[in-house]
Amino acid sequence: MIPVEYYLVLSAFMFTTGVIGVLIRRNAIVLFMSIELMLNSANLTFVTFASFLGDSAGQVFIFFVMTVAAAEAAVGLAIMIALFRNKQTLNADEVNVLKW
Amino acid sequence: MYDVFFYIFAAITILSAFFVVTTKNVIYAVYSLLLTFFGIAGIYVLLGADFIAIVQIIVYVGGILILMIFGVMLTNKITSVEIKTQTLFVIPTAIGVGIFAGVLIARMITANWRTMPLNIDYSTTVYSIGASLLSDYSVLFILLGILLLITLIGAASIARKED
């Protein structure tokens, strides 16, 4: 039987991987996938505690996280398409018109 | 018996997640993210969350990943090789993330979580989730519907061609 710490450590590894992706990559779509990894690790923690505490409220919150993730995916990719149409790049370091 | 499946799914998840953030090719990263989502869905099944696992596959693999593949295809010229991207700041990131992960994992191992031993009855969770969504969390449920409507309008208006 797998103890609760194993699931939590797996979730922590996934979150750390997402942080690494946000820090070392500059392609906007890869940054976006790293954010999805972090959201999924939070979901994994929710499901872990929902199962180990015997309460289904954690599983309900997954729906909220997934809805926000889907909304973020739609709007984020729309922004990237508009960005690519205007600047012909998705490199996050080259998009600096708002930087003073 | 189930322990072996946990280690298999955990290995799939971790390895493909690392491949997502380290590969230079964006298309490979998207397909590797697909494996990550399947691994997490398998772990949800092991935790007794059957409906969540199915929704994970439908929403993430069927919706978000397809959107990402469209995003990659629409933002790369066919003739250019811009699909490869570089990495940077590797050494400072390794130091900072190492400290962060060490603190996080140490806290998760040493904390007293007061959990019961896992006792899954492998019956469906659909009924309890549906009852909660329509009673305790009904206001949030309606707000999420409004959020999705606004997202639909916003995404279409951002991505359309300017007149």
Read off the pLDDT of residues B145-159 as tens digits, 9 standing for 90 and up.
999 999 999 998 988
Task: Please check whether residues B11 and B60 belong to one and the same domain.
Answer: yes
Residue B38 lies in a domain: yes
> Residues B37-47: what's their mean pLDDT?
92
CB-count burial class (<10 Å; 0-12, 13-18, 19+) for A47: buried
d(CA B65, CA A86): 24
Q: What is the domain count for chain B?
A: 2
Q: Does the structure show a pLDDT above 90 at B38?
A: yes
B130: left (phi over 0), alpha (psi -120 to 50) or beta: alpha
Give the closest-approach CA distance of A99 to chain B in angstroms.
Answer: 20
Give the closest-approach CA distance of B151 to chain A in angstroms.
Answer: 6
**Structural domain harbouring B143:** 123-163
CATH of the domain at B75: 1.20.120.1200
In A27-66, beta strands by DSSP E: none
Q: Do B118 and A2 touch (CB under 8 A)?
A: yes
Q: Does the structure show a pLDDT above 90 at A4?
A: no
B84: left (phi over 0), alpha (psi -120 to 50) or beta: beta
Residue B91 lies in a domain: no
d(CA B99, CA B35): 28
Which band of pLDDT confidence, cut at 50, 70 and 90, is reported for residue B13?
A: very high
Paired strand residues for B84: B25
CB A6 within 8 A of CB B11: no
Chain B contact for A17 (CB, 8 A cutoff): yes
> Residues B17-38: what's their mean pLDDT?
90
Read off the pLDDT of residues A50-59 as tens digits, 9 standing for 90 and up.
888 888 888 8
Residue B3 lies in a domain: yes
For B32, B54, B112, B145, the CA distances from B102, given in Å and listed in that order, are: 26, 33, 18, 39
Q: Do B90 and A24 touch (CB under 8 A)?
A: yes
Q: Which domains does chain A have, with CATH numbers?
A: 4-87 (1.10.287.3510)
Residues of B in contact with A79 (CB under 8 A): 158
CB A68 within 8 A of CB A13: no
Residue B104 lies in a domain: no
Mutate to test the interface with A, among B46, B64, B65 (most CBs of A within 10 A): B64
Of B59, B82, B105, the position where a domain reaches its end is B82
Chain B contact for A98 (CB, 8 A cutoff): no
Which band of pLDDT confidence, cut at 50, 70 and 90, is reported for residue B163?
A: low
Give the closest-approach CA distance of B55 to chain A in angstroms.
Answer: 9
Paired strand residues for B87: A25
CB B30 within 8 A of CB A33: yes
The reported pTM is 0.89
Residue B115 lies in a domain: no
For residue A51, the number of C-alpha atoms closer than 13 Å in the C-beta half-sphere is 27
Give the closest-approach CA distance of A42 to chain B in angstroms.
Answer: 11
Q: Does the structure show a pLDDT above 60 at B161?
A: yes
Read off the pLDDT of residues B72-84 as tens digits, 9 standing for 90 and up.
888 776 544 455 5
Of the candidates A14, A9, A78, A60, the residue with the CA atom closest to the CA atom of residue B52:
A60
ipTM over 0.85: yes
